[in-house]
Structure 1
Amino acid sequence: MFERIAAFFREIGAGAGEEGAAFTRDDPRLAAAALMYHVMGADGVVHESEKARLAEVLEATYSLGKDELERLIEAARDADSEAVDLYQFTSVLMKSLSAEERVHFIELLWEIVYADGVNHELEDNLVWRVSELLGVDGRERVLLRQAVQARTGEQE
């Protein structure tokens, strides 16, 4: 399942930015990374395990080299810090992802949430809001959370 969404992200990322090029605001890779970065810091504490999981997910999803991965994470951090709302990122993903791919993206957000072993209420709320903006219904969001939680063996 993860491989399908990873293949899709690689496909939409191909040509969106050449090696060394900056990530633009309408680049789905930047939108996805910025939302992941935002989720990572939602509880006010960014753990090394979350940073590592973010890098793993982005690297696997977009087949990035080390330098390009670092640029994407830096661009995501900057975009997140400049953002006034989530819509600027979710609107890019709404145009770029199918309904099934948006569901898979929510699963990736849960992967980031559980990277530190805790689902903080602010992280949970943020994934709920992103899910709503991406048109992923509440039942699907909860099932995804439970699946990731079971896979990681973490507690609520």
Structure 2
Amino acid sequence: MIATLKRIWKQGTPTTTSPHDAELAVTALMVEVMRMDDKLEDAEHQRIISNLQKRFALTPAEITPLIERARRTSARALDMHQFTSVIVKSFTTGERVHILAELWQVAMADGEIDPYEEQLIRRIAELFGLDHRQFIEAKLEAAAS
């Protein structure tokens, strides 16, 4: 772990983000929500695919490797900040509320919201710089869709 921290310190933080970084960051957060309840439901996986198609206009051939890359990246992640910071730099506040709604959609896809999923989404909302009203707005938007 110390070696990883030293490597990160030497590399520094990139000052710009590419659209591909944003795609990976959003996908990684969706994968984390899906994995949070320790049940890898097909409905949640399909919701991730649907959300990525709508948000980034990706084809199924592009989505499958992106999800696999996001799984590997999130498994190695020390925390959510590396993903949320990219999203904060890449998207407006309104867009971040919609991304949070998409995370809620993943959590709701299997018919129930696990408390751990809700806790993770609440933490992501904080890291997005969103307030409680926006957190609830995103949840209601997801429930209505």
Alignment TM class, shorter chain as reference: 0.7 to 0.9
Alpha-carbon offset, residue 143 of structure 1: 2.8
For residues 55 and 87 of structure 1, what CA distance do their matches in structure 2 show? 23
What is the Cα-based RMSD across aligned positions, in Å? 1.4
RCO higher in structure (CA 8 A, sep ≥6): 2
Q: Which moved further from structure 2: 55-64 or 84-93?
A: 55-64
Equivalent residue for 1:117, pick from 102, 111, 117: 111
Unaligned runs of 5+ in 2: 1-17
Q: Which amino acid aligns with 1:32?
A: V
Q: Is 1:103 paired with 2:120?
A: no
Q: Which amino acid aligns with 1:103?
A: V
Q: Is 1:70 paired with 2:49?
A: no
C-alpha distance after superposition, 1:10-38 (max 9, x if no partner): xx74xx4xxxxxxxxxx100000000100
For residues 134 and 59 of structure 2, what CA distance do their matches in structure 1 show? 33
Q: Which amino acid aligns with 2:107?
A: V
Q: Is 1:126 paired with 2:103?
A: no
Equivalent residue for 2:53, pick from 59, 76, 95: 59
Alpha-carbon offset, residue 84 of structure 1: 1.0
Secondary structure of the residue aligned to 2:43 is helix
What residue number does 1:28 align with?
A: 22
For residues 26 and 140 of structure 2, what CA distance do their matches in structure 1 show? 22
Alpha-carbon offset, residue 142 of structure 1: 1.7
Secondary structure of the residue aligned to 1:116 is coil
Equivalent residue for 2:87, pick from 69, 72, 93: 93
Alpha-carbon offset, residue 147 of structure 1: 3.5
Alpha-carbon offset, residue 146 of structure 1: 2.9
Q: Which moved further from structure 2: 47-56 or 60-69?
A: 60-69
Greater than 6 Å deviation, 4+ residue runs: none
Q: Which amino acid aligns with 1:105?
A: I
Q: Which amino acid aligns with 1:110?
A: W
Which protein is richer in helix relative to its size?
2
Unaligned runs of 5+ in 1: 1-11, 17-26
Q: Which amino acid aligns with 1:143?
A: E
